[in-house]
Amino acid sequence: MIRSVVRGFGAALPKQVMTNKEMESKVDTSDEWIVQRTGIRQRYIASEGETTASLGESAARAALARADLTADDLDLIIVATSTPDNTFPATAVNIQNRLGMRHGAAFDLQAVCSGFVYAVATADAYIRGGLAKRALVIGAETFSRILDWSDRTTCVLFGDGAGAIILEAQEGAGTNADRGVLTAQLRSDGIHGDKLYVDGGPSTTGTVGHLRMEGREVFKHAVGMITDVIEAAFEATGTTADDVDWLVPHQANRRIIDGSAKKLGIPLDKVVVTVDVHGNTSAASIPLALDTAAADGRIKKGDLVMLEAMGGGFTWGSVLIRW
């Protein structure tokens, strides 16, 4: 059977770092309060001239270089983002143009913090269906542009950045030993739409709006939803928590990450955590964490890697990959 195998990975971060100490000068908060409740110590903030598309392009070029490929080798670009450069055209088309790619297809996908998981699942479906041989999947965000910097409950949480992987069609035996995407589990429930949202948009206010969140409600649902899709992935593949080499979660909150791992029985030394240095970068958080752990040698060829995320909507999902 055809599997979607990771051929390359890359990441990009803005130049500016904002520490918790610097955040204290913006809002009534403290480094101690932020670290205790979230695990975040710093985040990257896009400066003028740095956009979702420019960060996504840099991550894409890094992934192409690591895969020893060019844009001509791609058939498909999917960009997961909630902070596009423009309402339209899609940021993916913008990046396609920046890369000099004049063929194939490119489009954006919006599932907020679950966006990268949804995008990987979508690219995998294209590849398994024979519609693409190689897909560039990017998670890119500039959440600093939609934050209310007077709201200390949200502005301390988020940062900017981009990460990318290249998926390539390769033949597998149809077993869990195959490299590539083994299963994807996606969920959503719109009843929770008012718990994490942006209070603006072209069709309603005609403005970009700002991010709003009921933190306690999000936290209350997060661990249960995350474990739901991970257990579904185990059931679909006949694997267990003991088989997982690395859990790469959405980097929203250290307490959610630790709580989910504990509930699933996955040791914390098998969990990739970058929330302390990146903050919550929404759809970019998983590919940024993947790049960090794969570049430093923790994630190796043949490892079983579980990706999971939950985001506004609510949306949530998991992808199990043999690296």
* pLDDT 10s digits, 159-209: 999 999 999 999 999 999 999 999 999 999 999 999 999 999 999 999 999
In DSSP notation, 43-74 reads EEE--TT--HHHHHHHHHHHHHHHHT--GGG-
Residue 139 pLDDT class (50, 70, 90 cuts)? very high
Residue 4 pLDDT class (50, 70, 90 cuts)? very high
Taking the alpha carbons at both ends of the chain, their separation in whole angstroms is 17
**Domain boundary residue among 107, 137, 171?**
171
* 276 and 128 inside one domain: no
Counted domains in the chain: 2
280 as an active site residue: the answer is yes
221 as an active site residue: the answer is no
CATH number at residue 235: 3.40.47.10
* 76 and 123 inside one domain: yes
* 135 and 199 inside one domain: no
Predicted pLDDT of residue 134: 98
**Domain boundary residue among 171, 204, 239?**
171
* 163 and 18 inside one domain: yes
Q: Tell me the whole-structure pTM to 2 decimals.
A: 0.98
Diameter over CA atoms, the chain = 57
Nearest to 219, CA basis, from 269, 260, 272, 248: 260
* 76 and 124 inside one domain: yes
Percentage above 90 pLDDT, the chain: 100
* 95 and 14 inside one domain: yes
**Domain boundary residue among 151, 171, 191?**
171
176 as an active site residue: the answer is no
* 225 and 284 inside one domain: yes
* 158 and 212 inside one domain: no
Q: Which of 192, 210, 250, 278 is catalytic?
A: 250
| Single-letter amino acid, residue 213 | M
* 13 and 56 inside one domain: yes
| Range of the structural domain that residue 100 is part of | 2-171
| Single-letter amino acid, residue 235 | E
The count of other CB atoms within 10 Å of the CB of residue 211 is: 23
Strands (E), 61-190: 76-80, 105-109, 134-142, 160-171, 180-188
pLDDT per residue as tens digits for the range 262-301: 999 999 999 999 999 999 999 999 999 999 999 999 999 9
* 135 and 189 inside one domain: no
* 145 and 189 inside one domain: no
Predicted pLDDT of residue 196: 97
Mean pLDDT (whole number) for 82-108:
98
* 163 and 209 inside one domain: no
| Burial of residue 216, with CB atoms counted within 10 A of its CB: 0-12 exposed, 13-18 middle, 19 or more buried | exposed
Q: Which of 113, 155, 210, 253 is catalytic?
A: 113
